[in-house]
Chains A and B, each alone.
Chain A
Amino acid sequence: MEKRVLFRSAWLPYALVAPQIAITMVFFFWPATQAVWYSFQLQDAFGLKSQFVGLQNFSALFRDSNYLESFKVTALFSVLVAFSGLAISLLLAAMADRVLRGALAYKTLLIWPYAVAPAIAGVLWAFLFAPSIGIVTYLLKGFGIEWNWIIKGDQAMALVVIASVWKQISYNFLFFLAGLQSIPKSLIEAAAIDGASPSRRFWTIVFPLLSPTTFFLLVINIIYAFFDTFGVIDATTQGGPAQSTQILVYKVYHDGVKAADLGGSSAQSVILMFIVITLTVLQFRFIERKVQY
């Protein structure tokens, strides 16, 4: 789609895009190029000299069992976050779509966690689950469950998943609710007249019609789990115990900032870039977010 009416000026359009392009060049393209460049370099221990080593950083990564483990952790984490988040939000949205009374109140009370920073969500849940003083830990002890996420990897994973899902429910809920409300009521009425039960109507009519929303949210949630949950992890487990919650983004940060391994961290950045590009292309391809030149 193009505009019929255009203005003419030899310099104005460039002046208008200049601020954005300048920031993009300095803070996006330049660092990204640097990341690619560093990923082919090996620095000596003092950071004084570096030499070109080709793909050595990459091959070292794929031989590193820690890195491969981090892939598995990330996959498990994002699947857990995406599926439990979507399931809970869909249930809540389907219920909110049904009720007439109090719909706005429910909506308001469910959307506010969107405003909570991931790091703060992490702190809140870490406090509830704190091994010696946490109130939830105390309740679990009553059921005979010994809860200590500082030592136990699977419990640490559960903690970061819960905190991440809690924060994301409101987002998913809003999109599911909008999706549900856009389904024509006549379809559902027709099925009801034919005697289909509510659950049957949901699974044979509503759920299939909702699939574009679900797929969109699935991609968004995977991106969220990959990148935005950095704050949750850094504020709680910091990748531990024994790297059981060290997702890829956290490992880039840890290796680059804390362990000062420039080449290795940059190679990981480059791999992550490929993952983001794939996810973004998926998002645009299948969700028909229309972008025309």
Chain B
Amino acid sequence: MVENRPWLTFFSHAVLIAGVLAVAFPLYVTFVASTLTLEQILQVPMPLIPGDQLLQNYSQVLGAGSTTGSRAAVSSMLVNSTVMALVIPLGKVTISIISAFALVYFRFPLRGLIFWMIFVTLMLPVEVRIIPTFKVIADLGMLNTYAGLTVPLIASATATFLFRQFFMTVPDELAEAARVDGAGPMRFFWDVLLPLSKTTMAALFVIQFIYGWNQYLWPLLITTDESMYTVVIGIKRMIVGSDAANEWNLIMATAILAMLPPAAVVVLMQKWFVKGLVETEK
């Protein structure tokens, strides 16, 4: 604190509280809507105090899903989302850390080309190659499969670069000592590099968990079977028409269920989350 200006401090708190409330307002209304009956929501204005339908709505979506639009149960969607949110970070961490290891600790022909190939993937997000990627997945018979949902999203330049940056900061003496002691490259990788990379892996995992959970365009393209929907897609499919035609109480209960796991990860693992966010963008 440079100087004491009580009014400015008061103003700062006022702005922050207003910001927090504005950010939280949609969440609150969503939660309230998920505890009401559809009739209550369709009254204008809808009540802003939670109702007594919480258990009713949540057990309905988890067990049976909505009755209009998509009929898949949200519990199976949550399973699909969980698979995506776990397999993508695990796969990404694994293939990125070994390719970064190769790029940093070996000199080999084509190394420049391989580095360049990984770098270029930054410039080819799914959004710019929608149709041809869909065709590739279809040709490989990977539509409506977990492999199709996860494997194409595992390759990532950012993760490889993150590990590469980190390996660069690992003192050369460690590798030297390992070599003097007669350890081969894989031994060095397992016993020295991996334990040192734990926090980087954790940070990357947290960011990629959210990335995997929140995927939208990709599952939208390659899942046509309701049993393969992720929860984010499922919500979209429950919205079938204009305002009154939707079962908003169920949609909002599903929205809460869809937001809970990634939000819990962000809040509970805040330290790793911030580290991962800042470092993947460096």
Contacts and interface: CB of A to CB of B under 8 A. Distances in A.
**A and B bound?**
yes
A103 to B, nearest CB: 9
Interface in B50-72: none
B99 A16 contact: yes
B90 interface: no
Q: Which of A34, A100, A192, A216 has the most CB of B within 10 A?
A: A34
A63 interface: no
A111 B270 contact: yes
A127 B281 contact: no
Contacts of A102: 13, 16
A14 B123 CA distance: 24
Given A99-B12, A123-B251, A138-B45, A253 B217 contact: yes
A222 to B, nearest CB: 13
Contact of B278 (A5, A100, A175): A175
B161 A230 contact: no
A65 interface: no
B133 interface: yes
B46 interface: yes
B220 interface: yes
A269 B236 contact: no
Q: Which of A9, A12, A95, A123 has the most CB of B within 10 A?
A: A123
B115 interface: yes
Interface in B206-234: 210, 213-217, 220-221, 232-233
B19 interface: yes
Given A12-B106, A276-B125, A252 B130 contact: yes
Contact size class for A? 35 or more
B144 interface: no
B112 interface: yes
B131 A266 contact: yes
Given A115-B263, A265-B130, A230 B217 contact: yes
A120 B259 contact: yes
A111 B278 CA distance: 13
A293 B120 CA distance: 13
Given A106-B16, A185-B2, A28 B217 contact: no
A132 B244 contact: yes
Contacts of A31: 129, 132-133, 135-136
Contact of A38 (B19, B111, B114, B132): B132
Nearest to A111: B266
Nearest to A273: B128
A125 interface: yes
A266 B99 contact: no
Nearest to B232: A117
Contacts of B134: 257
B19 to A, nearest CB: 5
B15 A280 contact: no
B8 A198 contact: yes
A196 B98 CA distance: 53
Contacts of A277: 123
Contacts of B167: 3
Nearest to B30: A124
Contact of B16 (A13, A95, A131): A95
Q: Which of B9, B217, B220 has the most CB of A within 10 A?
A: B217
Contacts of B188: 7
B108 interface: yes
B3 A19 contact: no
Contacts of B132: 30-32, 34-35, 38, 266, 269
Given A133-B42, A133-B243, A265-B130, A124 B26 contact: yes
Contacts of B98: 16-17, 19-20
Interface string B88-105: 000000111011011111
B66 to A, nearest CB: 13
B194 interface: no
A248 to B, nearest CB: 9
A280 B122 contact: yes
Contacts of A150: 242
Q: Which of A17, A31, A133, A249 has the most CB of B within 10 A?
A: A17
Given A35-B128, A91-B15, A109-B24, 6 more contacts: A30-B136, A96-B12, A119-B232, A131-B242, A185-B2, A266-B132
- List the 9 shortest-distance A-B pairs measured between CB atoms, nearest first: A117-B214, A115-B262, A34-B132, A31-B132, A16-B102, A231-B216, A7-B185, A13-B106, A5-B175
Interface of B: 1-3, 5, 8-9, 11-13, 15-16, 19-20, 23-27, 29-30, 33, 41-42, 44-46, 48, 94-96, 98-99, 101-108, 111-112, 114-115, 117-125, 127-136, 140, 151-152, 154-155, 160-161, 167-168, 172, 175-176, 179, 184-186, 188, 210, 213-217, 220-221, 232-233, 235-236, 239, 242-244, 248, 251-252, 255, 258-259, 262-263, 265-267, 270, 273-274, 277-278, 281-282
